[in-house]
Amino acid sequence: MSIEVKIPPVGESIESGIISVWHRKSGDFVEAGEALLTLETDKVSTEITAETAGLLETKAGEGQEVKIGEVVALIDDSASNPTKKTKSASSEGAAPVASQPAKKSSPNADFLSPAVRRLTNEEKLDAAKITATGKGGRLTKGDVLEHLQKGEPEAHADEQEKPRGQSKSVIEEEPADRFTRKKMSPLRRKIAAQLVMSQQSTATLTTFNECDMSEVMALRKKAQAKFQADHGVKLGFMSFFIKATVEALRAVPSINSRIEGDDFILNHYYDIGVAVGTERGLVVPVLRDADKKSFADLERAIADFALRAREGKIKIEDLQGGVFTISNGGVYGSLMGTPILNPPQSGILGMHAIKERVVAVNGQAVVRPMMYLAFSYDHRAVDGKEAVTFLVKVKEAIENPTALLLEV
C-alpha cells in the first residue's frame, strides 16, 4: 500500500513553499520519522518527515514550488528494507566473489548540462569514464577540464599536442559560466519585500554613538568560567545589550511603540527580537518578556534560537510580536552600518565590531576596545531628542554593566 506524503500546514497565511532539498531520493528505503525534505516558505524552513517506513517515490523535484496539501511523494509500506536483506544474505555465508577494482565513473552520464555535453562531444570524450564530483554524481564542466588536464586516453589524438585545458571549446564555453540564474527563495522574497516596505512606509532616521567595552569584557572574563559551569552556556555580549535595551526603553517609553493608521500604540511589555543570520537569510526570533529573564535565561534562549534557525526549525510564532529588534553586524566584521526598521516596530539597535581605538579619558589618550552603535528609528513616532537619549542610555548601561547585573 502506498502512503501519500503531503505538504502539511506550516502557519497562517502560508499557502505554498519550495522544496529546497530532498534528504532522500526515489528508490531509497526510509524509516518512520526520518527527514524526507526541507520545505522553505516566506517565513520559515521546516523539515517534513516520513510517517511510516517504506520505499520512497518522489513526485516533485528540488526547487519546485508546491502548495499546502499537495502530494510530493509516495511511500510503499509493503516494501522491505533491502539493506537488511543484503546483511542477512552475507551473514549466511554467501560464497566470496573476487573483488573488482572500482571504476570511477559518472552514474548520471546521460544527464549532462548543455555546456558539458558540448565539451565532451567536441573533445570526443566518453562521459561515463570521467570521474564525476557534482551534486548527486552529476558530471560538471570542471570534471571534464580536469580530465583533459590529466591527459587521459579518451582525449582526441589530435588534441594531445595542445596544452591541457587550453582547447578552443574551453575558451568558447567561458561566457556560459559567468553567471547563474535561479529563482529567489520564498524567504529571500519576503525579506526583500519587507525591506522595501520598511523604506517606503516609515520615516527612518539613524543616530550614532560609541561605547567603551572595557568593563563588559573584564566582567565576562572574570565570570565566564563560573557562569558556564553553573548554567551550561557561555556569557555573551548579546545578553548585556538586551538588558541595556530594556533599561533604555523604560527610560524612553515612546520608542517601545508602533503606529497603526492614525493610532499611536505604546507597548508595556518587552519582547525583544534578535536578528539571526542563516544560509537562507535573516530571521528575527523574539525573546518574550526579556525584562523578566536572567542573563542565563537570555543566553540559553539565544543559543536555542541560533541552533534552530541554522537547522531550519524556527516556528512561525517564534518570529511574531516583537516590539524592538537588535542586530549584531559586528559578528561579521561590520564597523558601521545603518540598520533598517522591522515594521511595525519603531526602533532597531545595530551593534558593530569591537575595535581598539585611541580615545580621550580624563584628558589622557588611551587605547580602549570600542564599539560603534547605530539606532534607527521611525521619526513619525520618535523625536530626535528621544532617540539620542535612548542611545545614550544604552551606552551608559554597557559601560557600567555591574548596574545591569544588580538591576539598579
Mutual angle of helices 214-231 and 295-310, in 10-degree steps: 80
Asked whether 273 and 326 are in contact (CB, 8 A), the reply is yes
Asked whether 176 and 115 are in contact (CB, 8 A), the reply is yes
Q: Among residues 126, 177, 304, 383, which one is catalytic? A: 383
Query: Is 352 among the catalytic positions?
Result: no
Strands 276-278 and 272-274: unpaired
Strands 324-328 and 347-361: parallel
Q: Among residues 76, 231, 297, 379, which one is catalytic? A: 379
* Upper half-sphere CA count for residue 66 (Cβ side, 13 Å): 27
Query: Is 379 among the catalytic positions?
Result: yes
Q: How far apart are CA 198 and CA 192, in angstroms?
A: 10
Mutual angle of helices 238-251 and 384-399, in 10-degree steps: 140
31: three-class secondary structure by DSSP: coil
Instruction: List, in order, residues 6 or more apart from 251 with CB less than 8 Å away.
Output: 389, 390, 393
Catalytic residues: 379, 383
